Protein backbone atom coordinates (compact mmCIF):
# COMPACT_ATOMS: atom_id res chain seq x y z
CA UNK A 1 0.00 0.00 0.00
CA UNK A 2 1.18 3.52 -0.75
CA UNK A 3 1.43 6.43 1.66
CA UNK A 4 0.13 9.93 1.17
CA UNK A 5 1.56 12.94 2.95
CA UNK A 6 -0.51 16.14 2.99
CA UNK A 7 1.18 19.41 3.92
CA UNK A 8 0.03 22.87 4.94
CA UNK A 9 -3.33 21.91 6.45
CA UNK A 10 -4.92 24.66 8.54
CA UNK A 11 -5.16 23.96 12.27
CA UNK A 12 -8.95 24.39 12.11
CA UNK A 13 -9.21 21.62 9.49
CA UNK A 14 -7.06 19.32 11.62
CA UNK A 15 -9.25 20.01 14.66
CA UNK A 16 -12.39 19.24 12.64
CA UNK A 17 -10.82 16.03 11.33
CA UNK A 18 -9.90 14.91 14.84
CA UNK A 19 -13.38 15.71 16.16
CA UNK A 20 -15.01 13.76 13.31
CA UNK A 21 -12.64 10.85 13.90
CA UNK A 22 -13.54 10.79 17.58
CA UNK A 23 -17.27 10.81 16.77
CA UNK A 24 -16.73 7.88 14.41
CA UNK A 25 -14.46 5.95 16.78
CA UNK A 26 -11.43 6.13 14.46
CA UNK A 27 -7.98 7.64 14.48
CA UNK A 28 -7.50 10.87 12.54
CA UNK A 29 -5.49 8.92 9.96
CA UNK A 30 -8.24 6.30 9.52
CA UNK A 31 -10.84 9.08 9.25
CA UNK A 32 -8.74 10.79 6.59
CA UNK A 33 -8.65 7.55 4.58
CA UNK A 34 -12.44 7.17 4.86
CA UNK A 35 -13.03 10.76 3.73
CA UNK A 36 -10.79 10.28 0.70
CA UNK A 37 -12.44 6.97 -0.18
CA UNK A 38 -15.95 8.39 0.15
CA UNK A 39 -15.09 11.44 -1.97
CA UNK A 40 -13.61 9.35 -4.76
CA UNK A 41 -16.39 6.75 -4.74
CA UNK A 42 -18.94 9.58 -4.87
CA UNK A 43 -17.13 11.14 -7.82
CA UNK A 44 -16.89 7.88 -9.77
CA UNK A 45 -20.49 6.76 -9.33
CA UNK A 46 -22.79 7.40 -12.29
CA UNK A 47 -25.20 10.12 -11.27
CA UNK A 48 -28.76 10.94 -11.99
CA UNK A 49 -30.50 13.80 -10.25
CA UNK A 50 -32.45 11.40 -8.01
CA UNK A 51 -29.38 9.30 -7.19
CA UNK A 52 -27.33 12.41 -6.46
CA UNK A 53 -30.02 13.71 -4.12
CA UNK A 54 -30.25 10.36 -2.32
CA UNK A 55 -26.46 10.15 -1.90
CA UNK A 56 -26.25 13.69 -0.58
CA UNK A 57 -29.15 13.13 1.82
CA UNK A 58 -27.56 9.90 3.09
CA UNK A 59 -24.20 11.62 3.58
CA UNK A 60 -25.90 14.46 5.47
CA UNK A 61 -27.81 12.04 7.72
CA UNK A 62 -24.56 10.16 8.40
CA UNK A 63 -22.77 13.40 9.31
CA UNK A 64 -25.46 14.10 11.94
CA UNK A 65 -25.35 10.62 13.44
CA UNK A 66 -25.02 10.63 17.22
CA UNK A 67 -25.81 14.33 17.59
CA UNK A 68 -28.72 15.61 19.64
CA UNK A 69 -31.03 17.53 17.32
CA UNK A 70 -33.77 19.92 18.39
CA UNK A 71 -37.02 19.59 16.42
CA UNK A 72 -37.64 22.60 14.17
CA UNK A 73 -41.03 23.30 15.80
CA UNK A 74 -39.32 23.98 19.11
CA UNK A 75 -36.72 26.23 17.48
CA UNK A 76 -39.43 28.22 15.67
CA UNK A 77 -41.44 28.62 18.87
CA UNK A 78 -38.36 29.83 20.77
CA UNK A 79 -37.58 32.28 18.00
CA UNK A 80 -41.11 33.70 18.08
CA UNK A 81 -41.00 33.99 21.87
CA UNK A 82 -37.79 36.05 21.66
CA UNK A 83 -39.48 38.80 19.62
How big is the chain by its Cα radius of gyration, in Å? 18
What's residue 26's pLDDT?
94
What's residue 20's pLDDT?
93
pLDDT in tens, 18-41: 999 999 999 999 999 999 988 888
Q: How many C-beta atoms lie closer than 10 Å to residue 17's C-beta?
A: 16
Measured at the CA of 37, the angle between CA 53 and CA 8, to 5 degrees, comes to 110
pLDDT in tens, 53-82: 888 899 988 888 888 888 899 999 999 998
Higher pLDDT among residues 47 and 1, named by residue: 1
Judged against a pLDDT cut of 90, whether residue 51 lies above it is answered with no
Amino acid sequence: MASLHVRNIEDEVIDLLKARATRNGRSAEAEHREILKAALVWEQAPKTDADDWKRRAAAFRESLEGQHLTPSGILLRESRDER
